[in-house]
Amino acid sequence: MTTKSYFRIYFKAMFSAFAVVWLFFILQAAFILKDFKLEFIIVPSLLAIVIGFAIAKIAILKRNLLEQHALLRALTDFGQEFLYLRNKKGEYQYVSPYCQELTGYSPEEFYQNSQQMEMLIHNEDLPLWHQHVEHMFRSTGESESLVIRIVSKSGTVRWINHVCSSVFDYEGHFQGVRSSNIDITQREELEQIKDQFLKRMSHEFRTPMNGILGCADLINSEVPDNSDLKKYIEIIQSSSERLMQTLDNILELTRLGNAQSTIYSTNKPFDLLAMTQRLINLYQLRARIEGKKLQLSCTHRPETIEVLLPSEVMECILKNLLDNAVKFSCSGQIMVNLHLNHDSIDLSVKDQGIGIDPEFLPLIFEEFTQGSEGDTRHFDGTGIGLSVVKKLLTSMHGTIQVTSELKQGTTVALQLPFNPKNRQC
């Protein structure tokens, strides 16, 4: 608002106030007053100034509000996203024009029907939507985002990234919710193409790899223990299993990055201690094949640890931890500690390997990152093992902590809640 505009508003307000006050004074003088006094001029003039100033202030505030409202509408109406504001009754207070581009329904149709958004949600995503709406209208103040499908007026299924947060007045009272909805259909379609490609490639890799491992096992069973050929067969087995684990990690990482994927299957009871000891034996053999002077062992409490957890997830976690410990150690001990507490499992893997540089320690959970790269790299690996472990633990509400010292070794400690199947102390 320019200075000239301010003066124009003040002038109009003052002129109007003077005109009204002096008109009232003249009428009084003509019909009531007999003796003229100076106060009859001063008082109306002062009153006119005060009233004019008040009118001008109100007019300026109103104009500023209208300009800000117009600016806000220009910004929200122009954006390529569907925005809306709902009061605590669920009624729509504002709906951006882009809703018609995304859903096929006009803003007026949303204003007339407070259930319009719910009617758009894909049937398979309705339970997730109802849970989200119930949470948001509890006025917790937290923002929430989810990826869901909607069915437009034309019947087209679209993926949207729905972000929602609570709205409060200046006194902190809950007023409703605001939401931003962005069309991510193209991104989701590309994700599905990528997933299909990875599944197909997984099959193409696994089939010949299983053939190699099967043939290696058959040959290994026929070869005498003291034969040099047995060593070569063991190298083939170890290398093939390593390739299989790398493939599993890449697929797991892709699956974890998909917001709609199920992170793990239904929990089933299994013996965690037996699984740990089986994997220790496997990696002890791998260390021997690679010519490393390593001794793997396990301490545990109690004697039987049977739990209700996703066994495939726990096996993936243990494999990655043991693989890193063997990979980055040339000699010494690798100790697995497995303790069952009242409501959690404490699991740690401690090695006496090369350790981790303190500068690199904050980056260990980043994907495809290793402490040494390029020509300075001395150890193989993809740099995704710990990233997969952390994401799997997060999906089960677990925690991970890594402590390390260069040339002294590394300790990876996990803690995760569990459902006990059988506990014997």
pLDDT at 395: 79
- Measure the CA–CA gap between 393 and 42, rounded to whole angstroms: 82
Determine which helix (DSSP H) or strand (DSSP E) holds 65, and give its type and residue range: helix 39-78
Q: Could you tell me the residue range of the domain that residue 159 belongs to?
A: 80-183
Taking residues 172-199, report their average pLDDT.
83
Q: How confident is the model at residue 281 (pLDDT cuts 50, 70, 90)?
A: very high
The verdict on 310 and 244 lying in the same domain is: no
The verdict on 108 and 168 lying in the same domain is: yes
The domain boundary, picked from 156, 183, 210, lies at 183
- Measure the CA–CA gap between 360 and 232, rounded to whole angstroms: 36
pLDDT at 154: 92
The domain boundary, picked from 152, 183, 214, lies at 183
The verdict on 178 and 198 lying in the same domain is: no
Taking residues 392-407, report their average pLDDT.
88
Model pLDDT for residues 122-160, shown as the tens digit of each residue: 999 999 898 888 877 776 667 788 899 999 999 999 999
The verdict on 276 and 421 lying in the same domain is: yes
Question: Backbone phi, then psi, for 128, in 5-degree steps?
Answer: -65, -40
Q: What is the pTM of this model?
A: 0.51
Which of 21-35, 95-109, 177-191, 291-305 is least confident? Answer: 21-35
Q: How many structural domains compose the chain?
A: 4
pLDDT at 43: 63
The verdict on 280 and 403 lying in the same domain is: yes
The verdict on 217 and 158 lying in the same domain is: no
The verdict on 73 and 84 lying in the same domain is: no
Residue 344 contacts residue 396 (beta carbons within 8 Å): no
pLDDT at 4: 61
The domain boundary, picked from 183, 216, 245, lies at 183
The verdict on 285 and 363 lying in the same domain is: yes
The verdict on 111 and 238 lying in the same domain is: no
Question: Backbone phi, then psi, for 183, in 5-degree steps?
Answer: -75, 115
Q: Which residue has the higher pLDDT, 355 or 63?
A: 355
Q: How many CB atoms lie within 10 A of CB 328?
A: 20
Q: What is the 3-state secondary structure (H, E, C) of 218-247?
A: HHHHHCCCCCHHHHHHHHHHHHHHHHHHHH
Residue 287, C-beta contacts closer than 8 angstroms, at least 6 positions apart: 294, 296, 326
pLDDT at 400: 93
- Residues above pLDDT 70, as percent of the chain: 74
The verdict on 284 and 234 lying in the same domain is: no
pLDDT at 376: 42
The verdict on 321 and 399 lying in the same domain is: yes
Taking residues 157-171, report their average pLDDT.
88
- Judge whether residue 322 has pLDDT over 90: yes
The verdict on 321 and 384 lying in the same domain is: yes
Model pLDDT for residues 13-55, shown as the tens digit of each residue: 666 666 666 666 666 565 555 555 555 566 666 666 677 677 7
